């Protein structure tokens, strides 16, 4: 009886350890999901700002297009003014290109965060199921252990009662 109870205790201990490891992995996955949700919200905010800025710039360009080379030359009062205006236009064009690139990068980052979040959710669910299975296994082994102990008690009581009647 003791050997059987010890064996059941050992199996219950192993199942409890597996349960605890699954819970740890589930907690870690949930933490990754929380972090990913925060990063996703931050990226969405940054993307919204970048898109709004790009939209405003496009509206401005549509309403008042950048001057062509001839217009720039004619409207400039001096060579220095022409160079300054030309550099300003080039700088604006560079900023526009950087803004478009930023929108692209944020869209890629958004997709990556969505993927991380989806994976973390799947992992958390899987580990929760593993933990539940191991918890059920522990509970089943504990019930068996109690049944073995209860059976041994019954046998011991019966043996004591028989011995008492023999006296």
CA distance 16 to 136: 10
Q: What is the CA 117 to chain-centroid distance, rounded?
A: 4
pLDDT of residue 103: 93
Binned average pLDDT, 10 residues per bin, the chain of 167 residues: 80 91 94 94 94 90 81 85 87 90 94 94 94 91 86 88 86
Q: 134 to each of 13, 39, 60, 145, 147, how far by Cα in Å?
A: 11, 33, 63, 16, 20
pLDDT of residue 166: 84
pLDDT of residue 104: 94
pLDDT of residue 81: 85
pLDDT of residue 1: 65
pLDDT of residue 37: 94
Q: What is the pTM of this model?
A: 0.65
Q: For residues 131 and 30, is the Cβ–Cβ distance under 8 A?
A: no
SS3 at position 35: helix
Q: For residues 1 and 152, is the Cβ–Cβ distance under 8 A?
A: yes
H-assigned helices in 64-78: 69-75
């Amino acid at each position: 009886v003791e050997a059987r109870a010890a064996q059941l205790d050992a199996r219950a201990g192993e199942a409890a350890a597996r349960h605890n490891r699954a819970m740890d992995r589930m907690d870690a996955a949930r933490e990754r999901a929380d972090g990913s949700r925060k990063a996703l919200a931050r990226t969405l905010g940054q993307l919204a700002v970048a898109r709004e800025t790009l939209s405003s710039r496009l509206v401005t360009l549509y309403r008042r297009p950048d001057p062509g080379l001839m217009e720039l030359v004619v409207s400039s009062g001096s060579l220095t003014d022409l160079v300054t205006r030309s550099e300003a236009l080039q700088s604006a064009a560079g900023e526009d290109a950087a803004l478009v690139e930023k929108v692209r990068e944020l869209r890629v980052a958004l997709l990556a965060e969505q993927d991380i979040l989806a994976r973390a959710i799947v992992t958390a669910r899987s580990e929760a199921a593993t933990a539940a299975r191991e918890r059920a296994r522990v509970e089943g082994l504990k019930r068996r252990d109690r049944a073995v102990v209860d059976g041994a008690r019954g046998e011991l009581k019966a043996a004591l009662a028989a011995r008492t009647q023999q006296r």
